[in-house]
């Protein structure tokens, strides 16, 4: 190797190292935000949960006292059970609706597909607070148009904010908010299905429902699993909708209706920030356990398959 070739090689390796360093600057903004808004608050919550603040005596180290109090709290765990039931109902229904419309748009059955996809996506673009307030006025017992419609069909005296119907009302609101988002992801996944496979099935006179259930659905299973995973995490953090609805019907939403409401009321109304921090850490651990468990279950099923 000549001296010229060696010099060229050194210049090339130096340029590659500099180019690799430039890539770091694209990662820095995310890492700074992740550190400031995820790691630091998490560390502060864990630190705060180890202390107890009292009017008389000030702040003292209490170790795991707040954690044991939260674990023994029936109010906290009743909220956890409620959101788990909420997730078991809301997520399958929402994904079924989202997959149906994603298939409709993917097959080109509906005219003006782009327009309708945009309309379906709009509820996700609406802030959750705005959406919850809008639905609260629609379901308002005295002047809500949906209540008047229910009365017209013979369901007089319907109160969607009553304890018996509030849970269902929240499910409907959340489905309305998130179906468009899930539909968009499923529609994108369906677009990755090889067209020749579908065309071969059509040439074999395969019924449309069989093409959807036997060909398209298995090929987007990974996207569905990801959506189940993300929506489960979101369901466990249910907060905005029950909080907004509680202002329209006094007593319909308890302080521990969901784990996040329990944490909010413990910290704000009860002025027990240390106990609330411990509850937040425990809720985070519950989410981690469910997430890791679902991933391990998926991996186990993949190995068995």
Secondary structure, 3-state, 5-21: HHHHHHHHHHHHHHHHH
Q: Please provide the average confidence, as pLDDT, over all residues in the chain.
A: 85
Q: What is the pLDDT of residue 183?
A: 93
Asked if residue 233 lies in contact with residue 291, where contact means CB atoms within 8 angstroms, the answer is yes
List alpha helices for the chain, DSSP H.
3-34, 40-49, 65-71, 74-107, 113-125, 128-138, 145-152, 163-191, 195-203, 208-210, 217-219, 221-236, 240-246, 259-267, 273-304
Residue 11 pLDDT greater than 70, yes or no: no
Q: What is the pLDDT of residue 305?
A: 55
Q: Where are the domains of the chain?
A: 3-49, 69-300
Q: What is the pLDDT of residue 6?
A: 55
Strands 58-61, 51-54: pairing is antiparallel
Tokens representing residue 179 in the block = 């179906």
Q: What is the pLDDT of residue 170?
A: 94
d(CA 267, CA 273): 4
| Mean pLDDT of all residues in 215-233 | 87
> Which of the listed ranges 147-151, 193-197, 237-241 does the model predict with the highest average pLDDT?
237-241
Question: Lowest mean pLDDT: which of 221-230, 236-245, 296-305?
Answer: 296-305
Q: What is the pLDDT of residue 147?
A: 87
DSSP 210-246: HIIIIIIHHHTHHHHHHHHHHHHHHHHT--HHHHHHH
Q: What is the pLDDT of residue 16?
A: 55
Q: What is the pLDDT of residue 205?
A: 79
| Mean pLDDT of all residues in 231-238 | 91
For residue 61, which phi and psi values (nearest 5 degrees)?
-75, 125
Helix 163-191, helix 113-125: angle, nearest 10: 130
How buried is residue 202: exposed, middle or buried, by Cβ count under 10 Å (0-12/13-18/19+)? Answer: exposed
pTM of the model: 0.83
Task: Tell me the CATH number for domain 69-300.
Answer: 1.10.3720.10
Residue 12 pLDDT greater than 60, yes or no: no
| Mean pLDDT of all residues in 208-221 | 84
Residues 6+ apart with CB under 8 A from 161: 139, 141, 169, 245, 248, 249, 252
> Which of the listed ranges 22-26, 95-99, 208-212 does the model predict with the highest average pLDDT?
95-99
| DSSP secondary structure letter of residue 249 | S
Q: What is the pLDDT of residue 143?
A: 84
| Mean pLDDT of all residues in 239-267 | 89
Q: What is the pLDDT of residue 140?
A: 87
> Which of the listed ranges 12-26, 180-194, 204-218 does the model predict with the highest average pLDDT?
180-194
Q: What is the pLDDT of residue 18?
A: 58
Asked if residue 186 lies in contact with residue 220, where contact means CB atoms within 8 angstroms, the answer is yes
Q: What is the pLDDT of residue 84?
A: 92
| Mean pLDDT of all residues in 79-104 | 93
Query: N- to C-terminal Cα distance for the chain?
Result: 53
pLDDT bracket for residue 20 (50, 70, 90): low
């Amino acid at each position: 190797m000549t001296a010229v070739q060696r010099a060229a090689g050194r210049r090339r390796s130096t340029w590659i190292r500099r180019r690799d360093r430039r890539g770091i600057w694209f990662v820095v903004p995310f890492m700074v935000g992740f550190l400031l808004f995820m790691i630091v608050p998490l560390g502060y919550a864990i630190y705060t949960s180890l202390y107890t603040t009292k009017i008389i005596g000030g702040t003292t180290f209490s170790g795991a006292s707040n954690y044991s109090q939260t674990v023994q709290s029936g109010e906290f765990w009743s909220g956890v059970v409620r959101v788990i039931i909420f997730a078991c109902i809301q997520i399958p229904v929402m994904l079924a609706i989202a997959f149906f419309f994603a298939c409709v748009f993917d097959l080109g059955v509906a005219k003006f597909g782009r327009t309708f996809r945009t309309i379906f996506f709009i509820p996700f673009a609406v802030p959750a607070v705005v959406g919850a307030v809008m639905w609260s006025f629609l379901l308002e017992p005295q002047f809500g148009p949906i209540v008047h419609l229910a009365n017209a069909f013979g369901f007089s005296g319907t109160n969607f904010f009553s304890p018996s119907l509030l849970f269902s009302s929240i499910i409907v609101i959340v489905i309305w908010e998130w179906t468009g988002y899930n539909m968009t992801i499923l529609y994108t996944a369906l677009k990755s299905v090889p067209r020749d496979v579908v065309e071969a099935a059509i040439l074999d006179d395969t019924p449309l429902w069989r093409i959807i259930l036997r060909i398209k659905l298995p090929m987007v299973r990974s996207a569905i699993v990801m959506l189940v995973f993300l929506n489960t995490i979101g369901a466990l953090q249910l907060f905005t909708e029950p909080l907004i609805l509680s202002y329209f019907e006094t007593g319909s939403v308890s302080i521990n209706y969901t784990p996040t409401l329990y944490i909010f009321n413990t910290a704000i109304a009860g002025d027990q920030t240390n106990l609330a921090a411990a509850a937040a850490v425990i809720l985070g651990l519950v989410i981690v356990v469910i997430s890791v468990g679902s991933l391990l279950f998926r991996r186990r099923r993949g190995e068995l398959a």
